[in-house]
Structure 1
Amino acid sequence: MTFDRSLKIAPSILSADFADFGREIRAVEDQGADWIHVDVMDGHFVPNLTFGPPAVKAFRRHVTTFMDVHLMISPVDAYIDAYADAGADLLTAHVEAGPHIHRTLQAIRGAGMKAGVALNPGTPAEAVEHVLDICDLVCVMTVNPGFGGQSFIDMTAKVRKLRGMIGDRPVHIEIDGGVTPRTAPLVREAGADVLVAGSAVFKGGSVQDPAPYGENIRAIRVSCDTAV
């Protein structure tokens, strides 16, 4: 996939209908999603349990865009090959999840995926300064990880600092948490180019009536049009 900094909307299927993931994925893609975001939680690193490799493999059959898998688990390294086999295009690990994030990112790339590194709200941008040359994405958490539907924590100063640190490297800045048409322009103006949105995309729609998904995605895009 060719790198570009155009705005990408990545609906989080954590907010989709758990009984109908295949049609939900196809519906949001048809309605304008650029990526599909999959939140993997282990009940240990974060206080919730979600999807393992078999579920991600099942989702893969329905994803025609780009599958962005966010590991909120610890440890990470033992599961990298399983998520590669499941079909993740990009695998993101938290810098807080273990002592060797450089090794983890190397292993993700070695398994044939793009590598992302995530930062919790309390973790400074400088924590990833020395791995920017071996990652493809920095995910800035704008909520404390573990649950969908939380309120946005303003991390625009961190995003702006990261954008300066990244420079001309082909590294995306992703925002995960509390993204709405109100908050999206703040982080877009600061330098983010991938916006994860769960409830803000899926609210008001269903696989029987997917039009609201498209309206919600377009509302986020339009809100960002004047931010860059």
Structure 2
Amino acid sequence: MSPSSPRAIVSPSVLASNFAQLGDEIRRMMKCGAEWVHMDVMDGHFVPNITMGAPVLASVDKDVKDVFMDCHMMVSDPEKWVKPVAEAGGKSYTFHIEALADPSKAPELVDLIHSHSMRAAVAISPSTPSSAISTSLGQKVDMLLVMTVVPGAGGQKFMKECVPKVSELRERFPEKDIQVDGGVGPGTVGCCARAGSNVIVAGTALFGASDPKSVIDDFKKQVDEGKSVWGTEKALEGL
């Protein structure tokens, strides 16, 4: 593990929270050690579900002190929402490569996101190969997200066949944040961590836990332990 290895970060998905008490739920996760909160923005077009938009983000930003909103934009025309999300307090903006009419324009979108003082991230769905993220794009973004369920659909199981994509991206981008999202919990976080993920998104496993702090601590421990096998044959053992 090099001194520049990315740190372990846990980003609870608020979709599993009690929306009637959203501010309190986010503060609870932050108190338990979560550095970020994962805000799943779905538009009913790119994905079949509708969740929240900029007004909800703005309310959270106003209500919760020092919140880092990790905004996962499961939307069509992602460039359209950069300014509203930035003005609502978003700190990181993740777009799906599949949502772009012309994926070659992704670098321009990254520049737009950065011009609004947000971190930029690119996501790939389970059916999309990691090769869809070019080396130049991967170097330009701040984070790469590998979905381990189909975005927008609920009640899915963790798709372990997506984990090798984490390993491939880690080999190409050793110093980048690599996030996994979908069905991640105590029984599945280990393989993600060994493959190379350092940013863990989890919903029910955190908001539904009797002791979320212990779960968050365990996630971070598994990431730190996983770093010892990044880039080795052991990274994908057990899949």
- The reply to whether TM is greater than 0.5 is yes
Q: Distance in 1 between matches of 2:61 and 2:153?
A: 23
> Match of 2:172, SS?
helix
Check whether the contact 2:61–2:67 (CA below 8 A) recurs between aligned residues.
no
1:106-121 aligned within 5 A: 106-121=111-126
**Structure 2 residue 163 is the aligned partner of structure 1 residue 156:** yes
From the superposition, tell whether residues 133 and 8 of structure 1 become closer, same or farther in structure 2 (CA, over 3 Å): same
Within the candidate set 125, 134, 149, 2:130 is matched to: 125
Name the amino acid aligned to 1:159: V
Name the amino acid aligned to 2:165: K
Q: Distance in 1 between matches of 2:197 and 2:223?
A: 11
Corresponding residue for residue 45 of structure 2: 44
Q: Distance in 2 between matches of 1:166 and 1:79?
A: 27
Range with bigger deviation, 39-48 or 141-150: 141-150
Q: Distance in 1 between matches of 2:145 and 2:86?
A: 19
Cα distance per residue 1:150-201 (max 9 Å; x no partner): 2111122111110111134xx2100011111111110111111100000110
Corresponding residue for residue 175 of structure 1: 180
Corresponding residue for residue 215 of structure 2: 216
> Match of 1:28, SS?
helix
Compare the two structures and name the one with the higher helix fraction: 2
Cα distance per residue 1:100-155 (max 9 Å; x no partner): 32221121111111100000011111111231222000010000000455211112
Cα distance per residue 1:184-221 (max 9 Å; x no partner): 1101111111000001101145xxxxxx2223323433
Corresponding pairs, count: 218
Structure 1 gaps of 5+ residues are: 206-211
Q: Distance in 2 between matches of 1:114 and 1:188?
A: 22
Report the CA distance between 1:15 and its aligned residue.
0.5
What is the aligned-residue identity percentage?
Answer: 37
Corresponding residue for residue 10 of structure 1: 11
- Report the TM-score, using the length of structure 1 for normalisation: 0.90
> Match of 1:89, SS?
strand
- Report the TM-score, using the length of structure 2 for normalisation: 0.86
Check whether the contact 1:149–1:199 (CA below 8 A) recurs between aligned residues.
no
Name the amino acid aligned to 2:216: I
From the superposition, tell whether residues 55 and 190 of structure 1 become closer, same or farther in structure 2 (CA, over 3 Å): same
Corresponding residue for residue 192 of structure 1: 197
Check whether the contact 1:148–1:177 (CA below 8 A) recurs between aligned residues.
no
